[in-house]
Structure 1
Amino acid sequence: MAHIKLNNEELPGIRGLLDFRPETAKPLLALAETLLRGPSGLTSGEREIIAASVSYWNQCHFCHTSHAAAAAAHLQTGLNLIDDIKAGLPNTPVSDKLRALLNVAHQVQKGGKNVTDEDIAAAREAGATDQEIHDTVLIAAAFCMFNRYVDGLGTWAPQPNEAYKEMGERMAFVGYGK
């Protein structure tokens, strides 16, 4: 049960919070739409992997699982991607660029000042552009906020990965806030 009385206690995670405050939902959903589905040198699947990874490192089950399910929908990998992200993607072929960007995202997740010149140089060496580095840092920072929002208000989340399949497909193919 959430720490506050939500309008619809049946909506899990951020969905219940967005329903509670539509006026704050609108810009949050617009940010998610831009970061995860807008123009970028990174695919939407790659950006969802970044969001899911940051959420996992922040121990936010709802955000990790829902965004990993969206990545699985984009990449057509199946829900096994959810657990593979937790393990550091040992079974999912990803580019050296994405691995380097995930390192940058992990540094941001720990604290923005943890990102070093060497982290950025490694991302550039792997082929990341300034826009992709920018987008990675902003996705990581935004998901730290989203994760703290969801967990800070004590929302509930379904446990099984399968419960996120439809939500992931909706996020991937319909978008955020639609």
Structure 2
Amino acid sequence: MHSILAYLKHILIATNQHGVHSPFVYDYLTKCLYVKHQRSKQKYINIFLKSIRYFNTKTLLIVSDSNGLKQIAIQEFPELQFGVPPYDMVFTEASDPKEISEILLKNKEIHNDTVLVVNNIHKSKATELVWKQLQYDRKVTVTIDLFYCGMVFFRKEQAKEHFKIRI
């Protein structure tokens, strides 16, 4: 029930690329997320795979791999390296705040252009709280709430902003 209400709230509040004033986020939406290229019925997997391609990810860490995400990524991008820091992209579940905190604390494992993909940010009130805490972390500059997952960026050259986007 929580997910349904959260989805309805998201649809009412979220915008599309026309409500975005950040060139970085606008380009990400129009050149990546809104491109019709579907590999899976699950939206978070499509977002994940499109983002790997768009950000030209070389090194990837998948913290929670309950759905065989690593195997899917290997099939799509055989040149990816896994578990070799510093990471260009990190995938984790919102239900694991300890892992997220550890990733944020380890400065040598992430860099300015690292993308953190947090799955299931609206699964429960607890995961929404984790998402809110991430938004206020001092290292985080941009967050994008896509409902199915959240994208977190650490770009020092970017003003701190939070977006809710319909996809």
TM-score bracket, shorter-length normalisation: 0.3 to 0.5
- Please say which structure displays the higher CA radius of gyration: 1
Q: Under a length normalisation based on structure 2, what TM-score does the superposition of the two structures give?
A: 0.33
Q: Under a length normalisation based on structure 1, what TM-score does the superposition of the two structures give?
A: 0.31
More strand by percentage: 2
